[in-house]
Amino acid sequence: MHIGKTLISERRIRRRVRELGAQITSSYLNQDLTLIGVLNGSVCFMADLMREISLPVEVIFIRLSSYEGTWPGEISAGTDFNFDVAGRHVLIVEDIVDTGSTVKFIETKLSDLGATTVEICTLLDKPSLRVHQTRIRYIGFQIPDEFVVGYGLDYDGLYRNLRHVAILEE
Ligand code: 5GP
169 lines ligand 1 (CB under 6 A): no
- Residue 164 reports pLDDT greater than 90: yes
Between 45 and 70, name the one with better pLDDT.
45
What is the predicted pLDDT for the residue at 5?
Answer: 96
Specify the CATH architecture of the domain 11-144.
3-Layer(aba) Sandwich (3.40)
| 121-132 confidence digits (pLDDT tens) | 999 999 988 888
153 lines ligand 1 (CB under 6 A): yes
C-beta atoms surrounding 5 within 10 Å: 9
Does the annotation count 98 as an active-site position? yes
- Is-contact 77 64, C-beta < 8 A? yes
| 53-98 confidence digits (pLDDT tens) | 999 999 999 998 665 444 445 677 777 777 899 999 999 999 999 9
What is the predicted pLDDT for the residue at 74?
Answer: 67
Q: Where are the domains of the chain?
A: 11-144
> Looking at 42-144, which runs of residues are DSSP E strands?
58-66, 75-77, 89-97, 117-125, 138-142
What is the predicted pLDDT for the residue at 69?
Answer: 42
Main-chain phi, psi angles of 13, to 5 degrees: -60, -50
7 lines ligand 1 (CB under 6 A): no
Q: State the Cα–Cα distance between residues 166 and 73, nearest whole angstrom.
A: 24
Burial of 36 (0-12, 13-18, 19+ CB in 10 A): buried
Which amino acid residue places its CA nearest to atom 9 of ligand 1?
96
